[in-house]
Structure 1
Amino acid sequence: MPIRRQPDPAPNGPNFGIINTGHMTGPAQAAAFSQNVSQTNNITNEAVTEARESIEGLRRRLEELRGQYPEVDAALRDLDMINPRLDEPERDPGTLRYMLQNLVERCGGIPNLLTAAQLVQSTVLALLPGS
């Protein structure tokens, strides 16, 4: 007996295939049969607050180590460039990703700061649109 394949559902609107309840915190993947799909991330104030708190926590730790490691001043400059971009993270996400990677690499050379830098990276990346 041959196996009968079910056809893909027929698209019935511009965003067919995406269901968004308004609480998305990351990128969505459209179904293969979707057409003209668009997505709007609804970033919560809580997510922005988490990102700012992680930045401030790392800043405090870096300032305590100022003068002990050459990477500290560069990492603080990275934080100074990242923090104002939290207001519009979707404006230039590629640059922000690059800054975050630099921050993690710089903090990797400072004992006991890598985890704090990775926390900053993950909380800020959660604000960025998927690519």
Structure 2
Amino acid sequence: MTIRRHPDPVPNGPNFGVLNSGHMTGPVQAAPFSENATQTNQITNEAVDKARDSIADLRRRLEELRGQHPEADRALRDLDMIVPRLDEPAREPGTLRYMLQNLVERCGGIPGLVAAAQLVQSTVVALLPGS
């Protein structure tokens, strides 16, 4: 049996190497040799409203626990830095992801709040461009 060696593909245009199995429901997956692969998120008002609602719920719960847990004040400060960035989530997506991770970690030390913090994280990350 003869084994043929196929040459590596040569890029021939924008988005060359984007793999599509025909059933795409998630972000674009680019092959390692691809160039210029991009993804455009269509952010709806409903998605922004969900993010704001999850933040409002977490804020209310944190304010109730203020004074009982030192991390509650720090988590509220994190929320204060996250909220203004919802108007332009694509401007500093890495910074926003970092802030959200800090928020989840802070709330992890407060009983009953980690799920609410994770909801904030997932609704806000849904607004960010794909990485």
TM range (shorter): 0.7 to 0.9
Residue 82 in structure 1 maps to residue 78 in structure 2: no
For structure 1, the 5+ residue unaligned runs are 5-9, 19-23
Give the drift of 1:14. 3.4
Residue 38 in structure 1 maps to residue 30 in structure 2: no
Q: Which deviates further from its counterpart, 62-71 or 26-35? A: 26-35
Residue 109 in structure 1 maps to residue 109 in structure 2: yes
Q: TM-score scaled by structure 1?
A: 0.77
Residue 100 in structure 1 maps to residue 88 in structure 2: no
CA shift in 2, pair 1:26/1:129, >3 Å: farther
Correspondence for 1:61: 61
Contact 1:27 1:41 in 2 (8 A): no
- Three-state SS of the structure 1 residue aligned to 2:41 is coil
Contact 1:26 1:41 in 2 (8 A): no
- Three-state SS of the structure 2 residue aligned to 1:62 is helix
For structure 2, the 5+ residue unaligned runs are 5-9, 19-23
> What whole-Å deviation, never above 9, does each CA across 1:50-73 have from its counterpart, x for those lacking one?
111000000000111111111111
Contact 1:107 1:114 in 2 (8 A): yes
Distance 1:43 1:17 in 2: 26
Give the drift of 1:27. 3.2
Aligned length: 128
What amino acid is the match of 2:76?
L
Distance 2:47 2:2 in 1: 52
Contact 1:25 1:43 in 2 (8 A): no
Distance 2:73 2:26 in 1: 32
Q: Which deviates further from its counterpart, 68-77 or 26-35? A: 26-35
Cα-Cα RMSD: 2.8
Give the drift of 1:112. 0.6
What amino acid is the match of 1:70?
P
Identity %: 80
Distance 2:71 2:64 in 1: 13
